[in-house]
Amino acid sequence: MGPEERDIEVDSQYTGYIDEEDDDKHTYSSGQSLETGVTHYRYENGRRYHAYREGTYYAPNDDKYAMYESIVHHLWLLTLKDKLFLAPIDNPQTILDVGTGTGLWAMDMADFFPDAEIIGSDLSLIQTTTSYSNIRWEVDDASSEWTYPESSFDFVHVRGLTGCIKDWPNLYSQSYRHLKPGGYFEHLEFSVETSADPTSDRHADQMYTTFSNSILSVGDDKTGMTFRTVEHMKEHMEDAGFVDVVEEKFIWPIGPWPSDPHLKDLGRWGERNWADGLEGWVIALYTRVLGWSYTQVQDFVKSFRAVIKDRNNHYYHEVRCVYGRKPTVEEEQRQTAPGTTGDGGGC
């Protein structure tokens, strides 16, 4: 069944495609015309997924997941103490948000920097508004060769793409190449591993460990799109040539069990993050990759949600924000000048 087929009746366990656009083509502001395949969606197990570059992103793109994305956006704002970024950028004129999703971060940035030109790119056209004159939404695959002019952005932002990219060093290199000298790249990700004790026979520890191990195994052994991204961000950024690289580590409690008021607030939203996001995280991966049935996934989600919402359980997981700067032209020239380590010379 191909994505050119339209208007298929879909039930909760049927896989099909439907085009939700009446037009044969959709044109976005870069001037490129997109064939109908871009605006087709795949329906599977009662959830909607992108059909353009199908399978690249494991999560749904339906309204239910859009509501969940607002929870994650709020979690990041709480984590960064109401900041949209940590990189020391000042009055950026051009900003790229890679994997923009519903575009909440890009819209907040448009308010914060009304004079900046902001591009939000994603595999799906699910952004909820076109009312921002300084934003344009583009359908693009971040893993493909970027077609933007080199040295064109002041700031490139990536958040929450773990498990979706096969070649992270290439994405870092593309970000480096398309940043202006002196521009910043910032990457924020979460760990799928928690503080659960893998040696414990407690039901809760076993549930969290089973989840983490299964997700890590899918990325490492099946899809080639790792869920260990958070561990390698700083290394990838430095290898790409960025300087002044800073890594900030935070925790997201799962439930309001911490005594610290800030962590308690994070925990309330962290619990919702796991409870509301769980089905979207696993349903495609478990059914497509691990061969689970729809019923098996729903039973697992139900059991795991009970663990997540049990206030007697005190777990957390780590998130990180890493940012770095592309050297200025003068700095690059100094790095490659004769007599420096940049040209491979020296004693």
pLDDT of residue 48: 75
pLDDT of residue 61: 78
Find tokens 């958040």 and name the residue. 159
**Residue 108 neighbours by CB under 8 Å, 6+ apart:** 84
pLDDT at 345 over 50: no
pLDDT of residue 177: 97
SS (H, E, C) 255-267: CCCCCCHHHHHHH
pLDDT of residue 114: 96
* CATH value of 37-333 in 3.40.50.300, 3.90.1150.110, 3.40.50.150, 2.60.40.3950: 3.40.50.150
CA-based nearest residue to 308, from 250, 256, 258, 251: 256
**What is each CA distance from 8 to 5, 14, 64, in whole angstroms?**
8, 10, 21
Q: For helices 261-284 and 203-217, what crossing angle results, to 10°?
A: 60
pLDDT of residue 45: 78
pLDDT of residue 313: 97
**What digits encode the pLDDT tens for the residues 88-99?**
999 999 999 999
pLDDT of residue 180: 98
Give the mean model confidence (pLDDT) for residues 148-157: 96
Cβ-contact 186, 89 below 8 angstroms: no
List, as one string, the DSSP characters of 183-227. EEEEEEEEEEEES--TT---HHHHHHHHHHHHHHHIIIIIIS--S
pLDDT of residue 54: 62
Question: Helices H, strands E: what count in the chain?
Answer: 8, 12
Q: Which amino acid is residue 44, in one-letter code?
A: E
- Cα–Cα distance for residue pair 30/279, rounded to 1 Å: 35
Cβ-contact 50, 44 below 8 angstroms: no
Q: Which of 74-78, 85-89, 160-164 has the lowest mean pLDDT?
A: 160-164
244 phi-psi bin (left φ>0, alpha ψ -120 to 50, beta other): left
Q: Which of 4-18, 114-128, 265-279, 317-331 has the lowest mean pLDDT?
A: 4-18
pLDDT at 307 over 70: yes
pLDDT at 168 over 60: yes
pLDDT at 34 over 50: no
- Cα–Cα distance for residue pair 37/300, rounded to 1 Å: 33
Beta strand 94-98 pairing with 153-159: parallel
pLDDT of residue 57: 66
- Cα–Cα distance for residue pair 120/167, rounded to 1 Å: 21
Q: Which of 97-101, 129-133, 339-343 has the lowest mean pLDDT?
A: 339-343
Question: What value does the mean pLDDT of the chain take?
Answer: 85
Cβ-contact 158, 171 below 8 angstroms: yes
pLDDT at 24 over 50: no
Q: With bands split at pLDDT 50, 70 and 90, how would you rate the model's confidence at 53? A: low
pLDDT at 46 over 80: no
Q: Which of 144-153, 231-240, 247-256, 330-339 has the lowest mean pLDDT?
A: 330-339
pLDDT at 178 over 50: yes
pLDDT of residue 141: 83
pTM above 0.75, yes or no: yes
Residue ranges of domains in the chain: 37-333
Host H or E run for residue 97: strand 94-98
Alpha helices, DSSP H only, in 18-103?
63-79
Q: With bands split at pLDDT 50, 70 and 90, how would you rate the model's confidence at 197? A: very high
Q: Which of 121-125, 232-236, 237-241 has the lowest mean pLDDT?
A: 121-125
Q: With bands split at pLDDT 50, 70 and 90, how would you rate the model's confidence at 331? A: confident
Taking every pair of C-alpha atoms in the chain, what is the biggest distance, in angstroms? Answer: 71
Cβ-contact 66, 126 below 8 angstroms: yes
- Sign (positive/negative) of CA torsion 151, 331, 173, 226? negative
What percent of the chain clears pLDDT 90, i.e. is strictly above it? 67
pLDDT of residue 58: 77
